[in-house]
């Protein structure tokens, strides 16, 4: 299967390399990653759950660093069943740890909070009373990848489509800057009464503008294809 870079180049005609291009490979990786996140966020919650990961907390691992993942559910084993944990603000973690407080977390009414991107469960999980945190992780999609793990197969094609739209926008901004430079140079040359040089700059600037118009039409088509595909995926 073709890499996402090859797919984007095929959709846009843009040359992409490690440096000196708009976009670069690093920028393309960011566009692909952003696209994957947008597609996942657009899915109904019931379908998002199909791509979640279960993380166990126990004696050796009592909390979970989220790293940007979305929390779907948190449960803790009370010795008989897995009890759902209620979420409380981090600033109230002292109260849920105080057995005399009305907000106290118990084996049958556990709680969790998130502080500095770390999720903690109260009472603290152990090997005999472990906890499970269901999370949805947003994948990092590299330009050299060709598939994305834990992602809907019927939505994967939307990632390079999204990245193609962003890549064209990146290229358009670069070309527009080049065009403006040519027109500025034309004004300078004309002021200096170098008509021939001014005309050359004007022609170059005009060529850049024509390229921008063509890219914008292509971008609009790809944007429409992306939006149509996303609507079909989430309905």
Centre a 10 Å sphere on the Cβ of residue 117 and count the other Cβ atoms it contains.
11
Whether 72 and 22 map to the same domain: the answer is no
At residue 181, the pLDDT reads: 77
Better-scored residue on pLDDT, 189 or 232: 232
In-domain check, residue 211: yes
Q: Which of 111, 136, 161 is a domain's end point?
A: 136
In-domain check, residue 101: yes
Whether 17 and 69 map to the same domain: the answer is no
Which residues, 6+ apart, have CB-to-CB distance to 141 below 8 Å? 4, 29, 32, 33, 35, 36, 148, 159
Whether 107 and 131 map to the same domain: the answer is yes
Answer yes or no: is pLDDT of 192 > 60.
no
Whether 212 and 187 map to the same domain: the answer is yes
Whether 63 and 131 map to the same domain: the answer is yes
In-domain check, residue 24: yes
Whether 60 and 93 map to the same domain: the answer is yes
Domain total in the chain: 2
Whether 54 and 130 map to the same domain: the answer is yes
What is the Rg, in whole angstroms, of the alpha carbon atoms belonging to the chain? Answer: 26
In-domain check, residue 157: yes
At residue 1, the pLDDT reads: 83
The percentage of residues in the chain with a pLDDT greater than 70, rounded to a whole number, is 94
In-domain check, residue 146: no
Answer yes or no: is pLDDT of 188 > 90.
no
Better-scored residue on pLDDT, 94 or 188: 94
At residue 99, the pLDDT reads: 95
At residue 194, the pLDDT reads: 61
Q: Which domain holds residue 14?
A: 4-43+152-234
Encoding tokens for residue 36? Answer: 């994957």
pLDDT digits (tens, 9 = 90+) for 71-108: 999 999 999 999 999 999 999 999 999 999 999 999 99
Whether 37 and 58 map to the same domain: the answer is no
- Contact (CB, 8 A) for 190 and 36: no
In-domain check, residue 29: yes
The percentage of residues in the chain with a pLDDT greater than 90, rounded to a whole number, is 82
In-domain check, residue 144: no
Whether 26 and 80 map to the same domain: the answer is no
| Residue whose pair of structure tokens reads 């890549």 in the numeric block | 167
Better-scored residue on pLDDT, 183 or 45: 45
In-domain check, residue 145: no
Most confident of 159-163, 182-186, 201-205: 159-163
Q: Which of 83, 108, 136 is a domain's end point?
A: 136
CA distance 7 to 168: 13
- Give me the chain's average pLDDT, please: 92
CA distance 185 to 219: 29
At residue 190, the pLDDT reads: 57
Whether 158 and 82 map to the same domain: the answer is no
Answer yes or no: is pLDDT of 187 > 70.
no
pLDDT digits (tens, 9 = 90+) for 18-64: 999 999 999 999 999 999 999 999 999 999 999 999 999 999 999 99
Answer yes or no: is pLDDT of 195 > 80.
no
pLDDT digits (tens, 9 = 90+) for 165-175: 999 999 999 99
Whether 92 and 113 map to the same domain: the answer is yes
Whether 179 and 126 map to the same domain: the answer is no
């Amino acid at each position: 299967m073709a890499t996402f870079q090859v797919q984007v180049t095929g959709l846009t005609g843009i040359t992409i390399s490690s440096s000196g291009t708009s976009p670069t490979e690093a920028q393309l990786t960011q566009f692909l990653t952003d696209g994957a996140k947008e597609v996942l966020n657009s899915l109904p919650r019931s379908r998002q759950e199909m791509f979640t990961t279960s993380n166990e907390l126990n004696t050796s691992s009592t909390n979970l660093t989220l790293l940007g993942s979305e929390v779907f559910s948190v449960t803790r084993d009370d010795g008989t069943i897995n009890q759902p944990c209620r979420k409380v603000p981090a600033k109230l973690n002292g109260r849920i740890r105080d057995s005399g407080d009305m907000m106290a977390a118990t084996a049958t009414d556990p709680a969790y909070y998130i502080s500095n991107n770390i999720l903690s469960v109260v009472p603290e999980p152990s090997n005999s009373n472990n906890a499970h945190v269901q999370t949805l992780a947003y994948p990092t999609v590299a330009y050299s990848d060709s598939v994305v793990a834990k992602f809907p197969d019927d939505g994967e094609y939307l990632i390079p489509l999204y990245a193609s739209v962003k890549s064209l926008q990146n290229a358009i901004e670069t070309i527009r800057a080049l065009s403006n430079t040519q027109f500025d140079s034309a004004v300078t040359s004309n002021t200096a009464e170098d008509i021939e040089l001014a005309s050359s700059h004007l022609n170059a600037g005009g060529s850049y503008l024509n390229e921008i118009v063509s890219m914008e039409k292509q971008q609009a088509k790809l944007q429409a294809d992306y939006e149509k595909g996303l609507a079909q995926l989430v309905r």
